[in-house]
Amino acid sequence: MAKQVEQVCVVKGWQEGPVIDESTLKDDLTRHFYYTLGRDKVGESQLYLYHALALTIRDRLVARCRETNKKIKQQKSRKTSYLSLEFLMGRALGNAVLNLDLEDQVSSALQEYCTKIETIEDAEHDAGLGNGGLGRLAACFLDSCASLALPVIGYGIRYEYGMFNQSMSDGNQIEQPDNWLREGHPWELSAPEHSKRIKFGGYVNSYTDKQGREHRQWVSSHDVLAVPYDVPIPGYKNNIVNTLRLWKSEATDEFNLTEFNAGSYSEAVAQKNLAEQITMVLYPNDSSENGKELRLRQQYFLSSASIQDIVDQWVNDHGESFTDFADYHVFQLNDTHPSIAVAELMRVLVDDYELDWDDAWQITTKTMAYTNHTLLPEALEKWSVSLFSKLLPRILEIVFEINARFLADVAQHWPGDVDKQRELSLIEEGGEPQIRMAYLAIVGSYSVNGVAALHTELLKAGLFKEFYALWPNKFNNKTNGVTPRRWLAHCNPTLSELISEKIGSDWVRDFAQINQLRRFYDDTSFQTQWQDAKVINKQRLVDLVKERCGVEFDVSMMFDVQVKRIHEYKRQLLNILHVIHLYDRIRRGDTQGLVPRCVLLGGKAAPGYYMAKKIIKLINNVADVINKDPLASSYLRVAFLPNYNVTAMEVICPATDLSEQVSTAGKEASGTGNMKFMMNGALTIGTLDGANIEIRDAVGADNFFLFGAEAHQIDDIKSRYNPAHLIEQNSDLANVMHLLESGHFNLFEPCLFDDVINAIKSPHDPWLVAHDFESYVSAQKQVDKAYADQAYWTQMSILNTAASGIFSSDRTISQYSDDIWHLTPLNTSDTDSTTATSKATKS
Ligand SMILES: *Cc1c(COP(=O)(O)O)cnc(C)c1O
């Protein structure tokens, strides 16, 4: 199995070669523009200038990446592989310029072309290889790992088409394919020499080796090639550049050859298409299970390619002894999506390297760690045994074997309790037998973590209760975080400059220092500067909303924002009911104490999610009626921003006054949007859910607008839930329902919102919209009161930013490293000592 060690000829001056001299940046840009890209007229397209600049920056990243890989080898570092079906990276240029500290050089080089970085940045497409929070978390984690100088490699899929582009037609969501690679992706480098073969189909044979041991052999499979594309991940000003390795599927050569030789040219090409389909498109479902064969192919494709990559490197460096493998490698599974890696590592060790089952299991369960992201039952992945047996016959055998041995343990722990075995089995019986992927992940891992304190507690007490009883020490919490580089330093230069004037600029590296801002919260001249920065940021959003929605926002009004995937549990519906309530008050002339607001909503609905799409249509219709009513315009303006993505959020969160985090308690595992808003000085109106709880604890109850039922009350409320009664009792809600039911927002589209109305009125509404309405409205009144006192509001805003230190993903990643991965930071002393730290925020 071991590869021949390649003869290497090192070009003198290049292997040892210093990191590229920054004084050549201007020349490199010119060279790439004129020669690599073959352009001569600057004016013809900023796109080529963007590409030339990206290549110029990439040269510098590649140099540092080579040095980083050398260090990992020299220091014999233990390494983490972060496996994720999603990496929602957004744009790379601005982030790389910031992290490499090249802002001055770049802007001076661009002067020659009569342009500036902000203009060039707009030519870059978002790398939208994710749905929402889970994918964006993976991207923030990569930034933090590199900034903390931790040896971590990301493994993902190079989807040809990322998250769909959303546009609006008459208030309805239209999905368009995201052909993000059309104009080329200048950041990646392909490495076809490291391609892997991935097996699908076929069947399993037995054979006996010379020692008389029996082995299984996966044969007659239809193999697909996994070709790696490497994207450099720069740390913040520490010369570390890690790698995100994205796999693309391709047909194998000999596969085509046999078909061609048989004379079936078209069939051969069709087979090629089939192979390439695997990485063609990202599944656009957030928090919902899918069950499609192609999705399972994607999951196994990523898992197998990545495991093989690590194992091949191991065998190259250490030979075929795996005794120490677990001392050097950890696989962190981002949700159950790549959890098939547990069985794949077993297959490689047992089949390819002929390890005994027990030895292989020891190694596997010391290297796998699993992060759970949701409690929603509809998101828990299950795959039918029959699909597995067709697609991955050998993997199915391994899952059965893991299960048999696990159930023997269960029988020991709970003697005679057959129900327990049925409950905990990796195979769900009754109807079509299904494999419970979360159970496979738990059984195969030494660490299982939730993503916020409440979420982890709910996992231990509910969904994974029996597993917690079996292995209490596996379970731990790692509250999510976001990178302060992208989500404050880069996206909010105005506020960043102000902050750095006051407390120095070290907060970008060591975000715990942001708490020094506290000292200035009651400094009136600082407050004025803080407000001025907000106005500048609001103007940027005003321009975006005008351009995309045609709605006029006004910087003098409160910016009330909810942007995230559209989902019933996130309760955009509750928000829009409040908007209707405000409109109702305006119509009734009840404007006493009403603070003028601009309400912005945005987010994509999964293409097959009927209710989510209805909610988008409702938001748009309500916005339309309100924006056309001259009576309302001085009090209330509403817009739905199409195509919410990372780049849009970089404009939105700096401009937001009020962050809407209103999920039904117990449903939002953590949330990370809430953290981006807080860092940028927004105040939160929210339920006690996910990380909202920790945000409120950090900033203090006085600086947070709390409302709604708590997680522990939900079951009781549901048992006697009577929305009709609640509507009858609350005249505000009754008025809102009356406007909805009278067709005020769908005059020419009768019955359009009947399903939405019925959902609110249903005694079985799982999201308890009607229940939380009253306390939501009353919390919103508190918001108005607070906002009316601008000095007071500004104090709270400063305190929110100042208390956001623990929501840096540097803190999260330090905890992953300390408690789960046990990594040693790479030496940066020979290059730069300024590596991100989170010492002060470690709990
Ligand atoms: C941060 C982010 C999310 C996650 O938002 P939540 O409010 O936590 O659901 C989703 N999409 C994008 C583009 C983001 O930047």
Query: Where does residue 265 fall: left (phi above 0), alpha (psi -120 to 50 degrees), or beta otherwise?
Result: alpha
Instruction: Identify residue 653 by its one-letter amino acid code.
Output: C
> Where do the CATH 3.40.50.2000 domains begin and end in the chain?
75-90+126-477, 511-805
Q: Say if ligand 1 is within 6 A of residue 132 CB.
A: yes
CATH topology of domain 75-90+126-477: Rossmann fold (3.40.50)
Cβ of 163 closer than 6 Å to ligand 1, yes or no, is: no
Q: Which atom of ligand 1 is nearest to the CA of 570?
A: 9
Please name the fold of domain 511-805.
Rossmann fold (3.40.50)
Locate the ligand 1 atom nearest the alpha carbon of residue 133 and give its number. Answer: 4
Determine the distance separating the centroid of ligand 1 and the alpha carbon of 208, expressed in angstroms.
53
Arithmetic mean of pLDDT over the chain: 94
Helical H segments across 426-513, by residue range: 437-444, 453-461, 465-470, 484, 493-503
Buried b (16+ CB within 10 A) or exposed e, 760-790: bbeeebebbbbbbbbebbebbeebeebbeee
Alpha-carbon span 189 to 195, nearest angstrom: 13
Q: Is the CB of 571 under 6 A from ligand 1?
A: no
- State the closest ligand 1 atom to the C-alpha of 648, by its place in the atom list counted from 1: 13
Backbone angles phi, psi at 502, to 5 degrees: -85, -45
Instruction: Report the pLDDT value the prediction gives residue 40, as an integer from 0 to 100.
Output: 86
Beta strands 683-686 and 705-706 are: parallel
**pLDDT value, residue 343:** 99
Query: Count of CB atoms within 10 A of residue 501's CB?
Result: 11
Q: 307: Cβ–Cβ under 8 A, 6 or more apart, which residues?
A: 331, 341, 344, 345, 348
Model's pTM, two decimal places? 0.96
Q: Are 56 and 314 in contact (CB under 8 A)?
A: no
CA distances from 549 to 342, 439, 538, 643, 790 (A): 47, 45, 16, 11, 28
Q: Tally Cβ neighbours within 10 Å of residue 489.
A: 25
Residue nearest (by alpha carbon) to ligand 1 atom 5: 673
pLDDT at 271: 75
Q: Compute the distance from residue 545 Cα to the ligand 1 centre, in Å.
A: 19
* Ramachandran class of 351: left when φ > 0, alpha when ψ lies in -120 to 50, beta otherwise: alpha
The finding on whether 478 has its CB within 6 A of some atom of ligand 1 is: no
Residues marked as catalytic: 373, 564-565, 570, 672, 676
Instruction: Looking at the CA of residue 672, tell me the nearest atom of ligand 1.
Output: 8
Ligand 1 centre to CA of 603 (Å) is 9
pLDDT of residue 190: 98
- Give CA–CA dist 767/718, Å, rounded: 9
So what's the pLDDT on residue 416? 93
**Residue with the two structure tokens 């490689």:** 348
- Answer yes or no: is the C-beta of 645 below 6 A from any ligand 1 atom: yes
Spacing, Cα 654 to ligand 1 middle (Å): 14
pLDDT of 267 reads 75
Scanning the structure block, which residue is given the tokens 């996206």?
Answer: 491
Residue 259: what pLDDT? Answer: 65
Compute the residue count for the chain.
843
How many other CB atoms are there within 10 angstroms of residue 376's CB atom? Answer: 16
Residues whose CB falls within 8 Å of the CB of residue 25, separated by 6 or more in sequence, listed in order: 56, 102, 105, 106, 109
Tell how far the Cα of 643 is from the centroid of ligand 1, in angstroms.
Answer: 12
Flag residues of the chain having pLDDT under 70: 1-21, 43-45, 254-261, 829-843
pLDDT value at residue 836: 55
User: Is residue 191 a contact partner of residue 228, using CB atoms and an 8 Å limit?
Assistant: yes
Chain CA centroid to CA 7, Å:
40
Q: Is the CB of 673 under 6 A from ligand 1?
A: yes
Instruction: Look up tokens 């391994």; give the residue.
Output: 398
